[in-house]
Amino acid sequence: GPPKTPCHAEDCFMTWFHDMLSPDQDYQVTWYASWSPCADCADLVAGFLATHTKVSLTVFAARLYYHRDPEHRRGLRRMSQEGAQVHIMSLREFEYCWEKFVDNQGKPFQPWDGLNENHQLLDTQLQEILG
């Protein structure tokens, strides 16, 4: 159910997920997000992964959240160092999300002009951040 106080999606998910974890089970989680996590959420995720070693996380973000801000860059690096696989969404991930999560009423995904170029630019920026 919805939290009693507003929170970012990462915080809400971590709270919900933590409550259902079984210590004897391995988990593989894939997130699809409009934005990469903010610095605070990236720290929360990194801390979660550091203490829950049976959780494997892959993040596909459509955009980088204030990627020039040193704190946001540090947060993404920390997530990666704790084992999160962080990627920029490509056409393949957009199509997957369109098919699985959007009430598309049978319409095919229509990529916008420059989607592939945008992916390449953001992926290059992300790789520089993760270094």
Q: Could you read off the pLDDT of 48-58 as tens digits, one per residue?
A: 999 999 999 99
Condensed to tens digits (0 to 9), the pLDDT of residues 85-117 reads: 999 999 999 999 999 999 999 999 999 999 999
Question: pTM for the complete prediction?
Answer: 0.86
Tell me the pLDDT band of 12, cut-offs 50, 70 and 90.
Answer: confident
| 3 state SS for 59-120 | EEEEECCCCCCHHHHHHHHHHHHCCCEEEECCHHHHHHHHHHHCCCCCCCCCCCCCHHHHHH
Which CATH class name applies to 28-130? alpha beta
